[in-house]
């Protein structure tokens, strides 16, 4: 896994050393771009994690939490670019909110000249990232929670008179966070290096460093590539530094938590305001996403739609009828690639984890970091080098090459979502099986795998969604010849045509959403008469 990344990085470093760093140092926007990457990374990760934990702490076990769970699938499968475009239409001064209240409430007959998008502070960008990362972290929490014995811990806290949130922080969080750590790191690295969201919602004077690197890569003078390579290396160092700072923050929290426990305060008064806060913020996010999706859907069938009309003049299916033939072809290719890479990743991950269990192996921290390298490493830093490798191997431009490339990104996410529940499985069940004469293989196939069906399906759904959402790797490995729904959508997004973006955005949701619907429905169906298996 590390091999393609390191080889790719080497392929990137060489042009960077060729004067790239000197020219990067001369670029006047460097400090601003670096600062923006750091601020948006920390702010969006911090807010996302806090909100996901707060929603869990305040609402776990309530009907509201079940509703949150149901909302996860559509939001998770929404590609970043489509989500950002949906939000952009909502928030722009000529967007849906302004149209809904104009001109009767505001007097605006033309849109006001307000900087609600691409604001220099990056607030819109942070919002766009939070909207996507909260559902991802919630999914990770949901798949880890059953292994933390959360219900009994919470009950114990309650009998001791602790409030829900304080009790969650003191008893469940210490068991939950270690399983959540790597997903959080991936979120932090992603937030700092996201390209599509930053280009659509982020500031542009200058943009965040990763967005600028892609702009340099696309610069027509071929010199831009050395600059881009140098920028990518700086981005990598920045991400590693940010991860170290986050780790220091974790250690501080670990020191602070026992002190909080020893204070003995029950924190009951916190529950009501925090529950309200969780509902308001969770509801606000859900509402924003729903409105963004509805906006995309409406644009895909909109005829003429001028400001300040709240709704289009008339509806038409012409966008859809034009998009469908193209979409059918690319949907087949997209699903084939996603299925290939996800199945390969599942087989590899399950094989590794089972071997780890049978031979009592303990993967060191180094092995973990190698596995997560593709997530932490800015894509722009190593993909050009990988493209070169694929070409030399004669693999460029095929579906297989794209699936292999996707495997590099799908594997860590599958491992990420599967390893914790797999390891947390109670091995006494295996011992019981063995005493009844079952071979290890039988234990694996008949006990462990079925009992872990929910996390395996979660991992598969995440893997599919990751594969479907890939843009740069698809473009690089496919040589432009392999068109997926996402490469088509991003190419269209550069043209700003909201109607087609709406159609493609919606269809991009449908494919991965199928996976998540199965992931939520199948265990509920199979375990309908096994209460203990339902989280």
Partner 1 sequence: MDRRRFGQLTALFALGASLPRMALAGEWEAVLAEAQGQTVYWHAWGGDPKINDFIAWVGEQAQAQYGVTLEHVKLASTADAVAQVLAERDAGKTTGGAVDLIWINGENFAAMKAAGLLHGPFAENLPNWPLVDVAGKPAVVTDFTLPTEGFESPWAMAQLVFEYDSARVATPPRSVTALADWAAANPGRFTYPQPPDYLGTTFLKQVLYGVMADPSVLQAPVDEASYAAQVAPLWAYLDALHPNLWRAAQAFPQNEPALGQLLADAEVDIAFAFNPGRASAEIAAGTLPDTVRTVTFDGGTIGNASFVAIPFNATARAGAQVVANLILSPAVQARAQDPAVLGFQTVLNLAALTPEDRARFDALSLGVATLSPAELGPALLEPHASWMTRIAADWVARYGVAQ
The nearest distance, CB 491 to partner 1, in angstroms, is 4
Nearest approach, Cβ of 379 to partner 1 (angstroms)?
Answer: 14
Maximal CA-CA distance, the chain: 79
Pick between residue 121 and residue 258 the one whose CB is nearest to partner 1: 121
SS3 93: coil
**Complex with partner 1: residue 242 or 501, whichever CB lies closer:** 501
Contact 367, 450 (CB under 8 A): no
Which residue number, 91 or 137, has a Cβ lying nearer to partner 1? 91
CB of 224 to partner 1, least distance (A): 8
CA 246 centroid distance within chain: 18
Closest contact distance (angstroms) between CB of 94 and partner 1 is 4
Q: CB under 8 Å to 291, separation ≥6 — which residues?
A: 86, 90, 96
**DSSP assignment of 13-72, as one string?**
HHHIIIIIHHHHHH-TTHHHHHHHHHHHHHHHHHHHHHHHHHHHHHHTTSHHHHHHHHHH
Q: Measured from the CB of residue 272, what is the shortest distance to partner 1 in angstroms?
A: 41
DSSP conformation letters of 465-525: HHHHH--HHHHHHHTT-S--HHHHHHHHHTTT-HHHHHHHHHHHHHHHHHHHHHHHHHHHH
Tell me if 503 sits within 8 A of 488, measured CB to CB: no
**Residue closer to partner 1, measured from CB, 62 or 204:** 204
Residues that bind partner 1 (CB under 8 A): 27-29, 32, 35-36, 92-94, 110-111, 113, 115, 117-120, 199, 203-206, 215, 217-222, 225, 303-304, 306-307, 322, 384, 387-388, 391-392, 396-397, 475, 479-481, 483, 487-488, 490-500
| Least distance (Å) between residue 164 CB and partner 1 | 42
* Nearer of residues 118 and 470 to partner 1, judged by Cβ: 118
Q: Which is nearer to partner 1, 202 or 267 (CB)?
A: 202
Least Å from the CB of residue 400 to partner 1:
15
Residue placing its CB nearer to partner 1 in the complex, 62 or 318: 318
CB of 20 to partner 1, least distance (A): 16
Measured from the CB atom, the residue of 167 and 207 that comes closer to partner 1 is 207
Q: How far apart are CA 87 and CA 244, in angstroms?
A: 32
SS3 (DSSP) at 223: coil
Distance CA 98, CA 111 (A): 8
């Amino acid at each position: 896994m590390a091999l393609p990344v390191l080889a790719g990085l080497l392929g990137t470093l060489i042009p960077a050393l060729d004067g790239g760093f000197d020219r990067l140092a001369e670029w006047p926007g460097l400090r601003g771009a670096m600062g923006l990457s750091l601020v948006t990374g920390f702010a969006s990760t911090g807010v996302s994690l806090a909100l996901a934990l707060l929603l869990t702490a305040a609402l776990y076990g309530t009907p509201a939490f079940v509703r949150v769970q149901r909302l996860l699938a559509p939001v998770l499968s929404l590609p970043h670019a489509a989500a950002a475009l949906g939000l952009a239409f909502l928030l722009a001064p000529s967007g849906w909110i302004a149209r809904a209240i104009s001109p009767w409430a505001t007097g605006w007959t033309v849109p006001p000249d307000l900087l609600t998008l691409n604001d220099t502070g990056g607030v819109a960008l942070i919002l766009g990232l939070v909207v996507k990362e909260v559902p991802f972290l919630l999914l990770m929490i949901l798949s880890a929670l059953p292994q933390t014995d959360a219900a009994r811990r919470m009950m114990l806290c309650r009998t001791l008179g602790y409030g829900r949130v304080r009790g969650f922080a003191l008893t469940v969080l210490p068991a939950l966070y270690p399983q959540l750590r790597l997903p959080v790191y991936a979120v932090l690295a992603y937030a700092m290096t996201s390209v599509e969201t930053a280009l659509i919602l982020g500031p542009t004077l200058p943009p965040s460093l990763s967005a600028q690197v892609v702009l340099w890569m696309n610069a027509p003078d071929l010199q831009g590539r050395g600059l881009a390579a140098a920028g990518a290396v700086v981005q990598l160092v920045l991400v590693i530094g940010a991860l170290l700072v986050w780790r220091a923050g974790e250690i501080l929290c670990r020191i602070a938590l026992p002190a909080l426990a020893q204070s003995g305060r029950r924190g009951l008064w916190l529950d009501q305001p925090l529950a309200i806060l969780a509902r308001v913020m969770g509801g606000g996010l859900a509402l924003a996403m729903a409105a963004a999706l509805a906006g995309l859907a409406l644009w895909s069938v909109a005829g003429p739609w001028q400001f300040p009309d709240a709704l289009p003049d008339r509806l038409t299916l012409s966008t859809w009828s034009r998009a469908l033939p193209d979409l059918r072809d690319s949907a087949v290719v997209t699903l084939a690639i996603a299925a290939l890479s996800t199945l390969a990743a599942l087989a590899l991950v399950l094989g590794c984890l089972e071997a780890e269990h049978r031979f009592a192996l303990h993967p060191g921290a180094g092995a973990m970091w190698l596995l997560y390298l593709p997530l932490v490493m800015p894509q722009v830093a190593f993909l050009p080098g990988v493209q070169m490798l694929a070409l030399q191997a004669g693999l460029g431009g095929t579906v297989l090459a794209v699936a292999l490339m996707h495997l590099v990104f799908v594997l860590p996410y599958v491992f990420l979502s599967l390893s914790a529940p797999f390891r947390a499985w109670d091995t006494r069940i295996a011992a019981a099986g063995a005493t009844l004469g079952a071979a290890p293989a039988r234990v694996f196939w008949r006990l462990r795998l079925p009992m872990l069906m929910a996390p395996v399906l979660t991992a598969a759904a995440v893997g599919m969604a990751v594969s479907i959402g890939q843009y740069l790797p698809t473009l690089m490995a496919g040589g432009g010849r392999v068109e997926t729904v996402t490469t088509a959508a991003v190419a269209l997004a550069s043209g700003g045509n909201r109607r087609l973006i709406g159609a493609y955005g919606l269809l991009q949701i449908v494919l991965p959403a199928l996976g998540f619907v199965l992931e939520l429905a199948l265990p509920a169906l199979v375990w309908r008469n096994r209460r203990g298996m339902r989280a």
